[in-house]
Amino acid sequence: MPFTPALAFAFEIRAHITETLHIGHGDGENTEFTPIVGGAVEGPLLRGKVLAGGGDWSSTRGEVCELDARYLIQAEDGAVIDIVNRGFYRPRPDSPDQYDGDLQVTEAGHYYRTSPVFRTDAPAHRWLAETVFVGLARPEGEDVVAIRMYAVK
């Protein structure tokens, strides 16, 4: 019988962003930088805040946008956690709205997924650096990106 990994909701990051800066493009690619200026982390396994100073570099070719974000989270206990979050955003007509309970976690017609990696030496949060995660991302208005993080079991 084939094995299918399970996902368990860990927390949600709501990153506040500001105006995207155009960097440049070449040979059909458009590169931009979106500053991350704060935010919140809420969930059963981690709570805290997103620190200002990080950002998301995106490279778009055709309809596919490759994302490469790096920023810091400060847990409620004061520990600082580095996150490198890579992923893709692209139109996908067959992609439905998806829900986690009553919360809509993806938007129909869009594939918006991330694969975060965490680093910290804080003993209470070391599990983050030793776990594989999948992020389901969605925009919330003009200035917030919400990423629902699921640990792969």
The per-residue pLDDT for range 17-50, each reduced to its tens digit, is: 999 999 987 778 899 999 999 999 999 999 999 9
| Per-residue tokens: 3 | 């094995």
> Cα dihedral sign for 138, 117, 29, 16?
positive
| Per-residue tokens: 87 | 């992923």
pLDDT given for residue 19 in this prediction: 96
Q: Are 138 and 146 in contact (CB under 8 A)?
A: yes
The per-residue pLDDT for range 60-92, each reduced to its tens digit, is: 999 999 999 999 999 999 999 999 999 999 988
Fold designation for 7-152: Porin (2.40.160)
Q: Are 39 and 16 in contact (CB under 8 A)?
A: yes
The pLDDT-based confidence of 101 (bands split at 50, 70, 90) is confident
Q: Is the pLDDT of residue 104 over 80?
A: no
Tell me the mean pLDDT in the region 89-99: 84
pTM tops 0.85, yes or no: yes
Closest CA to 137 of 101, 103, 116, 112: 112
pLDDT given for residue 24 in this prediction: 83
Mean pLDDT of the chain: 93
pLDDT given for residue 89 in this prediction: 92
The pLDDT-based confidence of 115 (bands split at 50, 70, 90) is very high
Spatial separation of the C-alpha atoms in residues 76 and 83, rounded to whole Å: 16
pLDDT given for residue 127 in this prediction: 98
Q: Which residue has the higher pLDDT, 80 or 139?
A: 80
pLDDT given for residue 98 in this prediction: 82
pLDDT given for residue 26 in this prediction: 75
Largest separation between any pair of C-alpha atoms in the chain: 50
User: In 10 A of CB 97, how many CB atoms?
Assistant: 12
